[in-house]
Amino acid sequence: MQEAIGWASSVILLLTIGKQVYKQWKEGASENVSRWLFVGQTAASVGFLVYSWLVRNWVFVFTNAFMVVNALAGLAIVLHHRRRERAEARR
């Protein structure tokens, strides 16, 4: 039962955060989204990933590995939108 709760919680977290990153991409805008949110999320998730690996907690290894991917995707989207906005402003 403990494992099921962990895995269910992992799926909920990943779907929730993933939906937000997808929304940014789909809308083509990252207004009021700080790149530092994703930088911090990446750093924290990498730290938690290493810790989870060391204590052999596979639910958290899986969750934090995907959180790193998600954070990097979110950061890439924010940076892409910022570059596009600067290019449009120069026109």
Question: Where residue 43 sits, what CATH number does that domain have?
Answer: 1.20.1280.290
The closest alpha carbon to 53, from 38, 68, 75, 36, belongs to 68
- Which residue would you say has higher pLDDT here, 58 or 1? 58
Q: What is the tally of structural domains in the chain?
A: 1
Contact 35, 75 (CB under 8 A): yes
Contact 29, 78 (CB under 8 A): no
The whole-number pLDDT of residue 43 equals 95
> What is the tens place of the pLDDT at every residue in 23-49?
888 888 888 888 898 899 999 999 999
Instruction: Answer yes or no: is pLDDT of 89 > 90.
Output: no
Query: How many whole angstroms separate alpha carbon 44 and alpha carbon 22?
Result: 21
The whole-number pLDDT of residue 61 equals 95
Contact 13, 63 (CB under 8 A): yes
Residue ranges making up the domain that contains 34: 2-90
> SS3 for 63?
helix
Q: pLDDT band at 20, cuts 50/70/90?
A: confident
* Global model pTM greater than 0.75: yes
Contact 29, 37 (CB under 8 A): no
Q: pLDDT band at 91, cuts 50/70/90?
A: confident
Instruction: Answer yes or no: is pLDDT of 55 > 90.
Output: yes
**Residue range 3-24: mean pLDDT, rounded:** 90
